[in-house]
Amino acid sequence: MNSSLRLITMFFGLLFLQVFVLNNILFLGHINPYLYIIFVFVYPLKENRISFLFFTFLLGLGIDFFSDSGGTHAFSILIIAYTRLFFIKLYFRKVATEYAFFKLKSEPFGKRFNYVVTLTLIHHLIYFSFANFSLNNILDVFLNTLFSSVFTLLLYFLGSYLFNKTE
Binding site for other proteins (CB under 8 A): 20, 26, 29-30, 32, 49-50, 53-54, 57, 60-61, 64-72, 74-75, 78-79, 82, 130-134, 137, 140
CB of 105 vs other proteins, minimal distance in Å? 25
How many C-beta neighbours within 10 Å does residue 130 have?
16
Nearer to other proteins, 21 or 154 (CB): 21
Nearer to other proteins, 64 or 107 (CB): 64
List Cβ neighbours of 152 (8 Å cut-off, separation of 6 or more). 33, 34, 35, 37, 120, 124
**DSSP bridge partners of 31:** 27
Q: What is the largest CA-CA distance in the chain?
A: 49
Nearer to other proteins, 115 or 128 (CB): 128
CB of 142 vs other proteins, minimal distance in Å? 15
Spatial separation of the C-alpha atoms in residues 153 and 20, rounded to whole Å: 19
Nearer to other proteins, 70 or 159 (CB): 70
CB of 39 vs other proteins, minimal distance in Å? 15
**Helix, strand, or coil (residue 31):** strand
CB of 81 vs other proteins, minimal distance in Å? 8
> Hey, what long-range contacts does 10-14 have (CB within 8 A, 24 or more apart)?
10/39, 10/42, 11/39, 11/55, 11/58, 11/59, 14/38, 14/39, 14/59
CB of 67 vs other proteins, minimal distance in Å? 7
Q: Establish how many alpha carbons lie within 13 A of residue 128's alpha carbon, considering only the half-sphere containing its beta carbon.
A: 24
Nearer to other proteins, 72 or 120 (CB): 72
